[in-house]
C-alpha cells in the first residue's frame, strides 16, 4: 500500500481492521456515501466557478469532470469544449 505513505502504519492497520470487520452491505453503503460526497464536492466546485449556473448547468459541468467529451456529447448532446452554455 505505497499510495498511503502519509498515513501512520498503525493507523492504517486500525482502518483496515475496521473495514475487514464490516459486513459486505456496510462496505457497499460506505462506498455509496463516499461516492455521493465526491459528487457533491464536484458540484460545489462548479458552483464556485459558475455562480450563476442553473442546476442543469451544474449537473452537466460536474458530469463533464467525470466523463469524456465524446460521452458528454453522446449522452447529453453538449460539447464541454464549446462556448455554448449547457442547459
pTM above 0.85, yes or no: no
Per-residue pLDDT tens digits of the chain, which is 87 residues long: 456 678 888 998 998 999 999 999 999 999 999 999 999 999 999 999 999 999 999 999 999 999 999 999 999 999 999 877 887
* Residues 46/53, Cβ–Cβ less than 8 Å: yes
Extents of the domains making up the chain: 8-76
**Within its chain, how far is the Cα of 75 from the centroid?**
18
Amino acid at each position: 500500500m505505497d499510495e498511503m505513505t502519509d498515513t501512520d502504519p498503525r493507523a492504517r492497520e486500525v482502518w483496515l481492521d475496521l473495514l475487514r470487520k464490516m459486513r459486505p452491505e456496510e462496505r457497499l453503503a460506505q462506498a455509496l456515501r463516499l461516492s455521493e460526497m465526491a459528487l457533491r464536492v464536484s458540484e460545489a466546485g462548479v458552483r464556485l466557478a459558475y455562480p450563476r449556473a442553473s442546476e442543469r448547468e451544474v449537473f452537466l459541468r460536474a458530469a463533464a469532470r467525470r466523463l469524456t467529451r465524446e460521452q458528454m456529447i453522446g449522452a447529453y448532446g453538449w460539447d464541454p469544449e464549446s462556448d455554448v452554455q449547457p442547459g
